[in-house]
Structure 1
């Protein structure tokens, strides 16, 4: 079977499973549980196809290893927060309360499942570009792979800092001023983990584009090709999700307004003034 067709079939099965499970369990976080898993499978499908064809698949294997590292880190972080124990994302519960039952079920089918699962296919399509344009590794591959790993390390640090804050908050009885993390990377970005997460997929896109350029494609169709849609839509999703998440946080913590005024939303940047102080552990 054509590898892209196999990816689409796999995505269809995974999507159906997530939707059916959400109906049976009244838990709409099944896509969240698949988020760190299915892209790894998709990229390895493309990589194995390249190896089976006998073409130069070094770039594809590199891309698959990078996404495997991404998936392992994200799976670990999601698991330690209880993501695989039946805990639903609190944002879905809030949205459910704002909609009529039929409206939320339509939202669940079309956005939570269909759109997001389609997006998880789109972000992996640079690997298909690399499969279609086999070429030896170049110096740019080293640059973009190193960038991917640096962003992965950044997200790991941000998630650990956020985890440590919430653990201190838990030990303090659930209340720890100002109510949210403001130190470490969170001094420079309100959501550094979100920034690093989406940036990794731009680096991943660059690897696919490098393959196209190295095989002779020009700017259009090479450096700029259709697989950029995945990284672009992921960034749009993160911006929308961040705005919604912040509306919830701001309603819970009065100090968040000042933090939002002084600190960049996504891109790490020096704070405009001294941020809200966070007490020592």
Structure 2
């Protein structure tokens, strides 16, 4: 992705302008500020480092500190879910960091003929577009934290069910290496680079680009900002409904209502503890659905992981603020350049795509072993995209025979529902 300056539509998009120099200078700059024990215990040194060093340096130092914490806690507790408890907060922290960094740097007063000495306002120190991105990240954080909390992820000792299963497949030395480089380091780097779009937009305010301003500066919100914000909120709303549908189903399967209160004894099988009839809070779930073991209705009839699909959309929408800033303002598209869309900030959504694809495939391997009908669900419903499910619907309705269609759909949506369609 590194090229000559002429290959980039704007110098700020070129990683050799800000990003790579910041990475290369991190260690020398850090040792310049923190030379000895005295400087390590001096708050003034930390303030100066934060204000004067490249903002990416502070993010790198924080990422290294959190990685060390995660590794130490995993060694002490034997619990590999140390990052899981931080996952809901860290992207927001990095976003806030790049948004407020200018606020803590030196902003000289301006002397004007009409008003005399003028000090920079809050919006002279905090860019509105970055503030909007942070506000959206806060909404993301609230939703994910709420869902994680009610699922018990913040309980002491709570560990994601996949870690023990994965640990059993590895020898002790391999697990140690995996826990250091993936659990402690790679995951934290991944969470840090979620804010690459924020960093890129912040660099457009650098003095280096005074003579080359971006087409849509980050110090002013435009219609495109509000459109992206609306898309973000819509995506988040869909994700919330997907979470809620799964939550309602899982509680119904366990003989509870959505408030986690046990259903009346008459509604639950005394042996299997599975519900015997529908309940008004989850009218679409039947005892047959509970026996299947996993949710397949509502949004889950269109995507095997609608919440994960929306999660990946989240990072693409936040990345879209980068093209919004750099694309030319004319409508003839003559100035459109590939680097408006493909630049180092795209690593943020791409890395999240890779992570969710890998983790989802592993989760589905576990589900397919646990639930016999899950393989039929994989055949009939797409992993993430509803268009994938629509194409499968076309195949099973127009190409596959009726018996094949019935054999696949009955375990997924219930024999009664499929038989009803078949008789119509």
Q: TM-score range by the shorter chain?
A: over 0.9
Q: Compare 165-174 and 95-104 and name the one that shifted more.
A: 165-174
Tell me, yes or no, if the aligned pair for 2:100 and 2:125 is still in contact at 8 Å: no
Distance 1:169 1:219 in 2: 52
Gaps of 5+ in 1: none
Tell me, yes or no, if the aligned pair for 1:133 and 1:211 is still in contact at 8 Å: no
Distance 2:327 2:60 in 1: 26
Structure 1 position 21, deviation (Å): 0.6
Tell me, yes or no, if the aligned pair for 1:205 and 1:227 is still in contact at 8 Å: yes
Distance change (3 Å), C-alpha of 1:279 and 1:179: farther
Match runs of 1:62-73 below 5 Å: 62-73=132-143
Structure 1 position 14, deviation (Å): 1.1
SS at match of 2:383: coil
Distance 1:153 1:212 in 2: 28
Structure 1 position 139, deviation (Å): 2.2
Q: Compare 203-212 and 152-161 and name the one that shifted more.
A: 203-212
Residue aligning to 2:262: none
Tell me, yes or no, if the aligned pair for 1:212 and 1:221 is still in contact at 8 Å: no
Q: How many residues align?
A: 280
SS at match of 1:227: helix
Gaps of 5+ in 2: 1-49, 108-123, 206-216, 256-267, 275-289, 397-408, 417-424
Tell me, yes or no, if the aligned pair for 2:100 and 2:126 is still in contact at 8 Å: no
Q: Is 1:169 matched up with 2:240? A: no
Q: Compare 61-70 and 104-113 and name the one that shifted more.
A: 104-113
Aligned match of 1:210 in 315, 324, 328? 324
Q: Is 1:277 matched up with 2:329? A: no
Residue aligning to 2:364: 246
Aligned match of 1:34 in 70, 83, 86? 86
Tell me, yes or no, if the aligned pair for 1:133 and 1:212 is still in contact at 8 Å: no
Tell me, yes or no, if the aligned pair for 1:185 and 1:192 is still in contact at 8 Å: yes
CA RMSD of aligned residues (A): 2.3
Question: What is the TM-score normalised by the length of structure 1?
Answer: 0.92
Distance 1:29 1:246 in 2: 19
Distance 1:174 1:210 in 2: 53
Structure 1 position 56, deviation (Å): 6.4
Match runs of 1:74-93 below 5 Å: 74-85=144-155, 86-93=157-164
Aligned match of 1:153 in 193, 218, 237? 237
Tell me, yes or no, if the aligned pair for 1:152 and 1:196 is still in contact at 8 Å: yes
Match runs of 1:1-281 below 5 Å: 1=50, 2-52=54-104, 54=124, 57-85=127-155, 86-134=157-205, 135=217, 136-171=220-255, 176-213=290-327, 219-269=337-387, 270=390, 272=393, 274=409, 276-277=412-413
Q: Which has the larger radius of gyration?
A: 2
SS at match of 1:123: helix
Structure 1 position 99, deviation (Å): 0.8
Question: What is the TM-score normalised by the length of structure 2?
Answer: 0.62
Distance change (3 Å), C-alpha of 1:132 and 1:120: same
